[in-house]
Structure 1
Amino acid sequence: MRALVLTVMVSVLLLGGCGRKGPLVAPEAFAPGAVDTLSVEQKEDRFFVSWSAPARDAGGRPLKDLAGFRLYRREVLPPGEDCEECPTAYRLVRVVDLDYLQDVKVYGNRYFFADAAVTNGTTYQYKVIAYRRDGSESAASNRARRRKVGAPSAPRLTASSTPTGVLLQWAPARTPGADFVGYDLYRRRGDDFGTLVLLTPTPVKEERFEDQGVEHGAAYVYTVREVVGADGQLVEGAASNEARGSRTAPAEE
């Protein structure tokens, strides 16, 4: 009888201590999810490396306490010499502290870093790792690779008013060894840099362009950049001088 009572008591204690528990979650599942949007573009003599912050942790839950990123770069060597997995292949380029961004810019949910420490003729590859405030790190991001080429020089731009808009004309600056693609034109309203837009969704081939999407009485500021192709990618050259223009008032009848 005593044995039976003890057995019942032990069973009750064990059942009471078990409770309902979910599956165990590995600590690494709380680390940030890996960035998968890393890209690199060349403008003038700099590489603009950009990426978006992960929205979820490695376990698929909404990401909390994201603290920053570590951006790495390596030089890509010729076949037979290249070794991405070698311990010294990558070097840390920038620690991005979200509380103190310094020279990293944010537009929407995308981070931009301008890397000027690149040399013509060299191919570079980047990766980024996100980290939380507790120090946990994501897996490495997708890789972004690009070869640095000589960028076009700045054209010389002039602007003149017309009854239908602003006429822009420029003197080209050709880049030896590059494939000419066209020109990108930019416009802002006066000194309001928040209104800066790319006027030409695709580069224009001619060395003149009339902007007819302007308002009477408003002053506009323009720049133009030559665009060339290199290794299947587009490269914008240096910005021209700024040219100011406005639409002339309609003639009185």
Structure 2
Amino acid sequence: MTKGLRILIPLLLILLLGACGKKTPPKPPYAVRPEVPGNVSVKLTFWGAELSFDIPHKKIDGDPLDGIEGFEIIRYEKSITNPEDTSTRRYWISITREMFQKLTRYHFNDRDLKPGYRYFYVIRAVRGWRSVSDPARSSVFAWYFPPAKVNGLGAKGGDSCITLSWKPVTSLINGALAEGFSFEYRIYKRQKDEALARAIPRLVSTTTFKDTNVINGITYCYQVAAVLNYYESLIEGPKSGEVCVTPVDLTPPPPPEGLVALPFKDGVLLRWRLSGAPDLLGYKVYRQKEGEEPVLLTPHPVSTPKFFDKPPSPGIYHYWVTAVDSSPRRNESAPSNVDTVKYQLK
């Protein structure tokens, strides 16, 4: 084999191998960076700020991420009274593969805030060297000493309502009097069989609250926290102790109408109109012979609007009916109209 052929054959093999398969064009570096952390929010509690945001699970080009190294968080701080007093602080949050696979949202607790300062956070997701997301930014908030804990919370159950009351908060969490400050209150509520309480949407400006969004017979539990509005930032103090109470049905059904008593040779037939009460359990029937005490004929309420009575002896008898509801109290209505018959044995 000549020297020229020995050089030509390897070149042809390289060209043939290079032609096998189809390669996609390389993606620009920005396309494989993580998406921006989304839904950034800050909640202020008595211990500081809770920053939370969504963990990106896709690249900018829409392809799924296989993981990230972590988050870089930068906190910016500025004095309210001295605008030249500013500083920044950096935090690094490592995200393991297990965390990336299980979590959709990250919560970062900042307990190192100074009263009288404004803050905001900038968050970037880091996949690797030169693979960093665009920044996400939180809203700006101001920080001050939170209100003290609410004491004296009490609850009273009513008919389809629960009334709460508590002592007013007059100091801050550091013990100083809250001079120049006024507080509102946030109410937390849960059913007794639920693990987590949810905040009622609106704040309350008084120290009482009537909750009508309840169902009789279900136990509800409440906590209350004072809230300070400091430069449009709502700073929440510690929650009160929890109280639980059950609203009860105290409203009886309407009295039955149209009672008619018809004497027969072997007894007295009573009929009345069907009650429209949605929680009706049944009816109680009463009889009274002239000169004697009334007698309850149906210790267990009857479910239909009729009853046949066999008086023990001839005489004049008065009859009336009441309606009973299905609540634990078994609320009983006022009496129906009274109908009188003269009963004779035949």
Query: TM-score when scaled to structure 1?
Result: 0.74
Q: Paired residue for 2:19? A: 17
Q: In the aligned structure 1, how far is the partner of 2:163 from the partner of 2:25?
A: 68
Q: In the aligned structure 2, how far is the partner of 1:213 from the partner of 1:172?
A: 24
1:117 aligns with 2:120: no
1:164 aligns with 2:167: no
> Which digits, 9 at most, give the CA deviation of each residue in 1:91-111, with x for residues without a partner?
21643446359xxx96xx432
Q: Paired residue for 1:227? A: 227
The code of the aligned residue for 1:23 comes to P
Assess if the C-alpha contact under 8 Å between 2:159 and 2:216 holds in 1.
no
Assess if the C-alpha contact under 8 Å between 2:164 and 2:208 holds in 1.
yes
> Which digits, 9 at most, give the CA deviation of each residue in 1:109-147, with x for residues without a partner?
432222222222233332222234x67742352232322
Quick one: percent identity of the two aligned structures? Answer: 28
Query: Greater relative contact order: 1 or 2 (C-alpha under 8 angstroms, separation 6 or more)?
Result: 1
SS in 2 for 1:192: coil
Q: CA RMSD in A?
A: 3.3
Shift in Å, 1:28: 4.5
Shift in Å, 1:209: 1.5
Assess if the C-alpha contact under 8 Å between 1:158 and 1:169 holds in 2.
yes
Assess if the C-alpha contact under 8 Å between 1:32 and 1:54 holds in 2.
yes
Q: Paired residue for 1:143? A: 137
Q: Paired residue for 2:210? A: 210
Query: TM-score when scaled to structure 2?
Result: 0.56
User: Is there any run of 5+ residues in structure 2 with no aligned partner, and where?
Assistant: 1-7, 171-177, 251-328, 333-346
1:176 aligns with 2:179: yes
Alignment length (residue pairs) = 230
Q: In the aligned structure 1, how far is the partner of 2:95 from the partner of 2:115?
A: 26
1:99 aligns with 2:91: no
Assess if the C-alpha contact under 8 Å between 1:38 and 1:141 holds in 2.
no
Q: In the aligned structure 1, how far is the partner of 2:137 from the partner of 2:179?
A: 30
> Which digits, 9 at most, give the CA deviation of each residue in 1:183-203, with x for residues without a partner?
211111225324x2222x111
1:197 aligns with 2:229: no
**Judging changes above 3 Å, is the alpha-carbon distance between structure 1 residues 126 and 140 closer, same or farther for their aligned structure 2 residues?**
farther
Q: In the aligned structure 1, how far is the partner of 2:120 from the partner of 2:92?
A: 12
SS in 2 for 1:173: coil
**Judging changes above 3 Å, is the alpha-carbon distance between structure 1 residues 242 and 213 closer, same or farther for their aligned structure 2 residues?**
same
Q: Paired residue for 2:66? A: 64
1:131 aligns with 2:131: no
Q: In the aligned structure 2, how far is the partner of 1:185 from the partner of 1:161?
A: 16
Q: In the aligned structure 2, how far is the partner of 1:137 from the partner of 1:24?
A: 15
**Judging changes above 3 Å, is the alpha-carbon distance between structure 1 residues 126 and 19 closer, same or farther for their aligned structure 2 residues?**
same
Q: In the aligned structure 2, how far is the partner of 1:186 from the partner of 1:81?
A: 38
Q: In the aligned structure 1, how far is the partner of 2:92 from the partner of 2:68?
A: 19
Shift in Å, 1:69: 2.9
Which of the pair has more CA radius of gyration? 2
Assess if the C-alpha contact under 8 Å between 2:35 and 2:134 holds in 1.
no
